[in-house]
Amino acid sequence: MKVERTGCFGARVVLQGDTLDEARAHALELAVRDGLVFVHPYDDEAVVAGQGTAALEMLEDVPKLDMLLVSVGGGGLMAGMAVAAKALRSDLHMIGVQTIRSPSMYNAVKHLSLPQGVSTIAEGIAVGSPGKVTQAIIERLVDDILLVDEGDIEQAIVMLLGIEKTLTEGAGAAPLAAILRNRPAFAAKEVGIVLSGGNIDPVLLESIIHRGLVREGRLARFKVCTRDVPGALATISALVSAAGANIDEVHHQRAFSSLAAQNVEIQLVLQTRDREHIGAVLTALREGGFEATLD
């Protein structure tokens, strides 16, 4: 998706290497070979200053913010916003957010060595090495860096879609993920978050949405065991309908089952309201005479 969108602006996209560091090394080679100007995505004072204007706009709109949460990859956006925000409000808390799977800046400023390099849905901030310019600024001006995991980010993406009708990629949703993961720390605070980037692959988005629905109890998989006779599925469907759930998928499992040959295991994927509703559907199936469990 990002390659396609970048190409739409007339860019010639060159894919080289499996990491950002490998891609940067190749870009530097191209700059020398073809006489091009290399614009660093984050470790450049002019780039940092430009990205910092986001903090000026946020404080202009909401002057009484208590803190700003910003995704951190190489650190350009975080460093720029910290310089701008602290110049206006020295008391303002600046909080960076990285993923547990790619904690390069976290490691650098906290002098730790957490493992990194594992694939993450927040690939926009999966940077192997933080910038030298940005690291120095972040160490001086940023109050803390929080880590979030993949589930936190998925939940944040789904929540933004459902409540704000806003589409963000994994890196963009990381600040909200940090709030969801550390709710007490942000209670009663005026918090500004930067939702940076909405380039997410539709197939990945579909998977995240479904996983989010499961997490919220709005999509559940049931296993119902019954006699393999005509009308059994119709009875089960009627009980599900009466309980207010909707059938999304149905699978009959006969061959790969430990049940007796005259019985069948029916797997149902149901659309439900919440986890309490899931319990009510289970109760309805059991009271209807079926052996039903969550699968």
Q: List, edge to edge, every strand of the sheet that includes 263-271.
A: 246-253, 263-271, 219-227, 291-294
pLDDT at position 19 is 77
DSSP state of 135: H
pLDDT at position 261 is 79
Q: For 206-225, what is the mean pLDDT?
A: 94
C-beta neighbour count of 184 within 10 angstroms: 6
- Class of domain 45-213 (CATH, top level): alpha beta
Which of 20-24, 112-116, 162-166, 290-294 is predicted with the least confidence, judged by mean pLDDT? 20-24
pLDDT at position 129 is 86
pLDDT at position 24 is 87
Tens-place pLDDT, residues 72-98: 999 999 999 999 999 999 999 999 999
Q: Which helix (H) or strand (E) holds 179?
A: helix 170-181
pLDDT score of 206 more than 90: yes
| Percent of the chain residues past pLDDT 90, beyond the cut | 84
The answer to whether 224 and 265 have CB atoms below 8 angstroms apart is: yes
Burial status of residue 125 (CB atoms within 10 A of its CB: 0-12, 13-18, 19 or more) = buried
Q: Report domain extents, the chain.
A: 2-34, 45-213, 217-294
Tell me, yes or no, if the two domains 45-213 and 217-294 fold the same way: no
pLDDT category of residue 254 using cuts at 50, 70 and 90: confident
Q: For 122-130, what is the mean pLDDT?
A: 89
How many Å is the maximal CA-CA distance in the chain? 77
Q: For 272-285, what is the mean pLDDT?
A: 96
Handedness of CA 95, 101, 104, 109 (dihedral sign): positive
Q: Name the CATH code of domain 217-294 (choices 3.40.50.10140, 3.30.70.260, 3.90.25.10, 3.30.70.360).
A: 3.30.70.260
The answer to whether 94 and 82 have CB atoms below 8 angstroms apart is: yes
pLDDT at position 18 is 82
pLDDT score of 224 more than 90: yes
Kindly give, in sequence order, each residue whose CB lies less than 8 Å from that of residue 89, ignoring residues fewer than 6 positions away.
59, 65
